Amino acid sequence: MIGRLPRSLLEDWMRDYYFHCELDIGSSGVSALSVRDLREATGIEYAEMDAVELRDAPPFGGLRLRRLIAERWGGGDPETVVVTHGGSEAIFLAFNAVVGPGDEVVVAGPGYHSYGSLANALQCTTRCWQLEARRGFRPDLKALREVVNNRTRLIAVNFPHNPTGVTLTEAELRELVAIAEENEAFLLWDDAFGELTYDAPPLPSAATMSPLVVTVGTLSKAFGLPGLRVGWCVAAPDVIQRMATLRDVTTLHLSPLIEFLAERVLLHADAIVKRVIDVARANRELVTEWSAQAPQVEAPVPAGGVTTFPHILGFDDTRGLCRYLAERAGVLLVPGDCFDDPTRVRLGFGGTTAELGAGLLQLDAALALPRRSISMG
């Protein structure tokens, strides 16, 4: 069972500033849909919502919702799916299902804080597969082979990657799965941004490639529905069953109303994602053009997701810059120390083009100031 969790620099920062900044160019999400947007996109009538009974729901999710998830991200078998309260609970359940004290966990770095935090809380040994800045953060599977060994129980990754935006080819994904299988390790494939790719189609479902793959997904990112708090795990049935005990003493199940809405979203998934990716693609071009012209910025071009991880030249620590932007200009930008590189920032481009443009103008203005003017600690 999970032990004491360490504090997260990322979540502390978001708690302090996310809800108070007018311009968001730092988060990893996209513009959220309103209830009206959702109804218009899915054809939901109020009478249908009125008919939903607010009773208990099945512990692993309603059969129709699990089947829709399995058909899109798995092999079609609903018995391989558990529906969760967002991707965060899915990751939490997955870790508790497959690792325990003394196990070895490999995580990609820089990366999402949850993997390392959960591994440490579960008294696992954590090893880092470092994505190197000198390679544009492109994943080096040869380097991964040097980190993974026969003591490794779990490899945890997310591609497209948060915060850098890099991803894998299909051949690299299959090699990654093979590395896990060769070492009899589970692969946690966090697919939160899997629908958001620009230069190639989304990767095939990793869940269908091996019984050792545990895929995590969410409606929070590519679907613009973080407020629904709908996520899922796709895994072998025995792994899903291991999650039952923990679920019994924590969240039990989702709301039937939330499941109803999620079902309708997945029935119209392609149209909803297209709305998001059309805006994200235009915003990626804007960020690429901006970084090419900004003398203090070196930014990799993201292949997927809605974040990039630019180096801000001349800054040993960008926290003061990000705090200045938040407190003086109302702009959310995430300091790189939240991802173990204080010389960088996480720049998010999932919002509206107008919001992104306004935020970049404020960032340009801050970078043009004397350093002492923005050194707020």
| Structural domain ending residue among the three candidates 243, 268, 293 | 268
Total domains in the chain come to 2
**Residue 2 pLDDT class (50, 70, 90 cuts):** low
Q: State what percent of residues in the chain have pLDDT above 90.
A: 92
CATH at residue 362: 3.90.1150.10
User: Are 228 and 83 found together in one domain?
Assistant: yes
**How far is Cα 307 from Cα 159, in angstroms, rounded to an integer?**
12
User: Is residue 39 a part of any domain in this protein?
Assistant: no
Q: How many CA atoms lie within 13 A of 212 on its CB side?
A: 19
- Which residues lie closer than 8 Å to 169 by C-beta, 6 or more apart? 200
pLDDT of residue 375: 64
220-242: pLDDT as tens digits: 999 999 999 999 999 999 999 99
Global pTM value: 0.94
The CATH number of whichever domain residue 148 belongs to comes to 3.40.640.10
pLDDT at position 1 is 47
CA distance 82 to 251: 12
The boundaries of the domain holding residue 366 are 9-34+271-373
Do the bridges between strand 230-234 and strand 307-308 make them parallel or antiparallel, or are there none, so unpaired? Answer: unpaired
Residue 277 lies in a domain: yes
CB neighbour burial string for 214-239, b if at least 16 within 10 angstroms, e if fewer: bbbbbbbbbbbbbebbbbbbbbbeeb
pLDDT tens, position by position, 126-183: 999 999 999 999 999 999 999 999 999 999 999 999 999 999 999 999 999 999 999 9
Q: What is the mean pLDDT of the chain?
A: 94
pLDDT band at 210 (very low <50, low <70, confident <90, very high): very high
| pLDDT band, residue 327 (cuts 50/70/90) | very high
pLDDT of residue 74: 93
For residue 173, give the amino acid letter.
Answer: L
Size of the chain in residues: 377
Q: How far apart are CA 258 and CA 306, in angstroms?
A: 25
